[in-house]
Structure 1
């Protein structure tokens, strides 16, 4: 197709006219965009400092600040499109449909998100607490929005989904300052129970890690077909619990050997059918 000079001139004039008429909208839209981004950054920084000053939970502070940041960015983007003259009604409808589709496809993630909010708000545990939940035990390293990060005693990292974590049972070993160790020691029926209890009581009193209050308990727990089971229940501070547990067992074994007391081995009862 051949264009004559008059047509080229008409096209150029039309382009210049449209550019002159539309340039104020473009300039104002980009001014709003850049000023808005700068203002959002200042607002977000101010909100973070305010929440830190109010001693809010660090995880909650980060989450609320991020939510505010993205809400303001979305509002700014919609304002930017409107200033350019783009119809936002259809855009909002498409955005809503996309949000619904994403929500349906990410139901599990939304459940974890809601669980993370519940954990952050109600605080059944906090960072550095030792908890047992969903079949695992570890120290809470980080509470994220979708998962909680645990570090086990053998230094393994476990990520537990917040949805199942918030809906299940949680044992928080750090919530109370002290903890009781529950040990079971089995002795034969030929053994003097009183003598054994005196030995165990002396061991617990001589261990500085065992608390004197509450008083440790040594009592008969059960009488089985082959052994007398004694319940040994010393109290200790959380940080000494593991040592008290193992040291009590070791000291009892050494003292029993010295006194000639034999620890009765565990025997599994076998069931017989009488036919």
Structure 2
């Protein structure tokens, strides 16, 4: 019995350095995990304050902070696992291969996601702006990570992929302080041009929504069977659509009342 006790004690003494080594490694890993976790939270909070001071969009700010935080914490867990003797090489290789496969399968979605990040970062337009892009026009109601939502003049909702917006020409009418509105009509070659100019310019007099500088103007362009007369005026971007509608009707009525022979009418807003 005494020999067995001595044998067990001898085996324990032999294993003791190994156990103490594993315990010390485990405790060190816990300390690194605790300190690293605190440092990551501190870094992400500091980044959040810097982004807020730089007036980065809240949606983009939250997303970037989440990505950075998850990436740093993943690196921390891998480092801690290697400290306690867990082989991480195979795990990293499998994770990388899985990420590559997912990226290949979601190319279109990732392009839209990247476009959303670029839009939120560089802000070529914001919510409330009137834009034209990708064959669609409307007012921006929301900018999401994968798409931008517009509402057009018919109150229809348009969903435009952010990849399309970031890789094509975007016309932002709201960024200009003024925009040119125009109303075009077709009159006969026998009609009085000077009188037409006077009548159309008279329509805009006293309208506070139309800018005085540059002043409204009337131009004439010859067509095969008619003369195109165009009333042009400058106004704020948000007023161009209602003003074009207003003066299209007013121009038709006043010219008809004065005996002008109108051709096919056309309305434009540039």
State the TM-score, normalizing by the size of structure 2.
Answer: 0.79
Conservation of the 8 A alpha-carbon contact between 1:60 and 1:120: yes
Whole-angstrom CA distance in 1 between matches of 2:20 and 2:190:
108
Whole-angstrom CA distance in 1 between matches of 2:159 and 2:80:
40
Q: Would you say 1:255 and 2:258 are equivalent positions?
A: no
Whole-angstrom CA distance in 2 between matches of 1:88 and 1:100:
18
Deviation sequence 1:210-253 (CA, Å, 0-9, x none): 1111122211123232x221122111111211121111112212
Report matched runs for 1:148-227 at 5 Å: 148-225=148-225, 227=226
Change (3 A) 1:141 1:30: farther
Deviation larger for 103-112 or 149-158: 149-158
Conservation of the 8 A alpha-carbon contact between 2:56 and 2:120: no
Supply the RMSD in Å over aligned alpha carbons.
Answer: 3.1
Report matched runs for 1:71-82 at 5 Å: 71-82=71-82
Structure 2 gaps of 5+ residues are 1-7, 266-270
Post-superposition, which runs of at least 4 consecutive aligned residues in structure 1 deviate over 6 A?
Answer: 17-21
- Which structure exhibits the higher relative contact order, with contacts defined as CA atoms closer than 8 Å and separated by 6 or more residues? 2
Whole-angstrom CA distance in 1 between matches of 2:34 and 2:258:
84
Whole-angstrom CA distance in 2 between matches of 1:222 and 1:21:
95
- 2:268 is aligned to none
Structure 1 gaps of 5+ residues are 1-9, 267-275
Whole-angstrom CA distance in 1 between matches of 2:140 and 2:247:
28
Conservation of the 8 A alpha-carbon contact between 1:216 and 1:234: yes
Change (3 A) 1:144 1:188: same
- 2:263 is aligned to 264
Whole-angstrom CA distance in 2 between matches of 1:127 and 1:251:
33
- 1:40 is aligned to 40
Whole-angstrom CA distance in 1 between matches of 2:264 and 2:229:
13
Report matched runs for 1:55-204 at 5 Å: 55-204=55-204
Whole-angstrom CA distance in 2 between matches of 1:224 and 1:58:
56
Whole-angstrom CA distance in 1 between matches of 2:30 and 2:138:
51
Whole-angstrom CA distance in 2 between matches of 1:39 and 1:141:
38
- Where 2:176 maps in the other structure, the secondary structure is coil
Structure 1 position 73, deviation (Å): 2.0
- Where 1:56 maps in the other structure, the secondary structure is coil
Change (3 A) 1:201 1:167: same
